[in-house]
Amino acid sequence: MSTPAAIFITLATFAFMEFWAWFMHKFVQHGPLWVLHRSHHIRPSPRPFERNDWFFAIYGAISALLFVTGGNRQHWWFWVGVGIAAYGTVYFFVHDGLIHGRLPFWKKTDNVYLRALNMAHKMHHKTQGRDHSQEFGLLWVSPKYLRLARQQAAKSKK
Ligand SMILES: [Zn+2]
Ligand SMILES: [Zn+2]
C-alpha cells in the first residue's frame, strides 16, 4: 500500500469515526445500549470504571483485529484499524481526560477549541436520563460554542 493511500485511509477513518461516534451515541447508546451508557450519566459516577468503558474495549478489539489480519501494513483495513485506534485515543484524552477529569495531569486548558468542546459536552450531561439530551458529537463542535468559548477567553484576559 502506498504512503499517500495509507494516510488518506487513516484520516478518512478518523473523520468517519466522529460521525460514527455521534450516530452511535445518539441512536444506540441513548437507545438500546443505554444499559451500558447509563453509568456515564449518573452523578456522582461509579468510578474508577464505568460500564460505559466497555465501548473502549469493543473498539479496541475491532482495531486489534484489523491490525492482526492487516498483513503487516499491506492491506487497506490495517489503516482503518489505525484510524479507529487514533480516534479512540483522542476521544479518551479529550472526553475522559480533559472533560471528565480522569487524568490527573490534564484538567484545564486555555485553548478556545477545547473549551468549546468542553462546553458542548457539559450540555450533553445536563440531563442524567436517556432522553432529551443534546450534543452527541465530540470533536465536531457547533459554532455557537466556539463563539461562547472565545467570549469567555476574552473575559478572562481582562
Ligand atoms: Zn450520553
Ligand atoms: Zn461525557
Q: Are 66 and 78 in contact (CB under 8 A)?
A: yes
Q: How many CB atoms lie within 10 A of CB 59?
A: 19
Place of cell 499517500: 4
Q: How many CB atoms lie within 10 A of CB 79?
A: 22
Which ligand sits closest to the CA of 22?
1
CA–centroid distance, residue 100 to ligand 2 (Å): 7
pLDDT at 25: 97
pTM (two decimals): 0.92
pLDDT at 93: 95
CA–centroid distance, residue 132 to ligand 1 (Å): 10
CA–centroid distance, residue 96 to ligand 2 (Å): 7
pLDDT at 51: 92
Under-70 pLDDT residues of the chain: 46, 158
pLDDT at 104: 86
CA–centroid distance, residue 21 to ligand 1 (Å): 11
CA–centroid distance, residue 149 to ligand 2 (Å): 18
CA 62 from chain centre, in angstroms, equals 16
Q: Which three cell numbers stand for residue 130?
A: 436517556
DSSP structural state of residue 109 = -
| Domain ranges across the chain | 3-157
Can the peptide bond before residue 104 be classed as cis, meaning omega within 30 degrees of 0?
Answer: no
CA–centroid distance, residue 64 to ligand 2 (Å): 25
pLDDT at 43: 79
CA–centroid distance, residue 55 to ligand 2 (Å): 13
